[in-house]
């Protein structure tokens, strides 16, 4: 399994050969620098580490400066590993969007948008109590009764309640690559992917 790192640019739509309008997410895929190639002999497992998006050297910790310097790369903002990388590469190589093949499918991981503290209607898709039930005339979006009376006499663990929503790692599988624009390092993915505009993504093929 190979992959590449990228940044979410936004959404658009294109027309296919049959004239159907396809919603797409635009991703800036690469250029990514191979900063480390891990092996079983040296690290205990096989993996390839990629880095993406330049950052100012003055804002980079000294330990990371040395790590990037070993591979001859400038300091980067986003670093991720890929297990069992399918391509033969070495430290210092640069991967760009031209490695992505149109029509293939990929898995994309990203950090979802943070929604803050949300109630049960938004967080767990509760329907609300409606307008014709007992004791809830002014609490239409309340969670309702939570626990038992005689036995347990408490709220059972795992009860779906209000709380923090979003800002979590989300992985969506089997997304189709609709179009690749290698001269601009852009990849168009069918449908939506996690995260806000400008957020970093990990694409696995």
The per-residue pLDDT for range 138-147, each reduced to its tens digit, is 677 888 778 7
Read off the tokens for 45.
Answer: 């497992």
pLDDT of residue 110 exceeding 60, the answer is yes
Q: Which residues, other chains included, contact 8 with Cβ-Cβ below 8 Å and sequence gap of 6+?
A: 25, 26, 27, 110, 193, 195, 196, 197, 198, 199, 200, 201
Q: For residue 145, what are the domain limits?
A: 120-165
List the CATH number of the domain containing 35: 2.40.30.10
Residue 75 shares a structural domain with residue 34:
yes
Number of domains observed in the structure of the chain: 2
Residue 21 shares a structural domain with residue 59:
yes
Read off the tokens for 112.
Answer: 């979802």
Residue 200 shares a structural domain with residue 182:
yes
Contact 46/84 with Cβ under 8 angstroms?
Answer: yes
pLDDT digits (tens, 9 = 90+) for 75-106: 889 999 988 787 788 888 888 888 888 889 99
Read off the tokens for 166.
Answer: 């979003």
For the whole model, what pTM was predicted? 0.82
- Residue 13 has phi, psi (to 5 degrees) of -145, 150
Residue 149 shares a structural domain with residue 73:
no
Distances (CA, A) of 68 to 45, 62, 127, 160, 161: 21, 10, 51, 44, 44
Residue 17 shares a structural domain with residue 48:
yes
Residue 64 shares a structural domain with residue 143:
no
Q: Say which residue the tokens 């159907």 belong to.
A: 20
- Residue 166 has phi, psi (to 5 degrees) of 85, -165
Q: Could you tell me the pLDDT band of residue 70, with boundaries at 50, 70 and 90? A: confident
Residue 113 shares a structural domain with residue 189:
yes
């Amino acid at each position: 399994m190979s992959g590449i790192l990228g940044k979410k640019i936004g959404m658009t739509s294109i027309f296919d050969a049959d004239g159907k309008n396809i919603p797409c997410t635009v991703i800036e895929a690469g250029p990514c620098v191979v900063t480390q190639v891990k092996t079983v002999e040296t690290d205990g497992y096989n993996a390839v580490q990629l880095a993406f998006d330049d950052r100012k050297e003055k804002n980079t910790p000294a330990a990371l400066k040395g790590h990037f310097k070993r591979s001859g790369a400038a300091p980067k903002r986003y670093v991720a590993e890929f297990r069992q990388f399918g391509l033969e590469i070495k430290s210092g190589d640069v991967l760009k969007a031209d490695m992505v093949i149109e029509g293939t499918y990929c898995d994309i991981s990203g950090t979802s948008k943070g929604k803050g503290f949300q109630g049960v209607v938004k967080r767990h898709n509760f329907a609300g109590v409606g307008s014709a039930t007992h004791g809830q005339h002014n609490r239409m979006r309340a969670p309702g009764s939570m626990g038992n009376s005689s036995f347990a006499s408490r709220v059972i663990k795992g009860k779906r309640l209000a709380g923090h929503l979003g800002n979590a790692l989300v992985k969506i599988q089997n997304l189709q690559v609709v179009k690749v624009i290698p001269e601009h390092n852009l990849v168009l993915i069918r449908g939506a992917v996690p995260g806000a505009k400008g957020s970093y993504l990990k694409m696995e093929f």
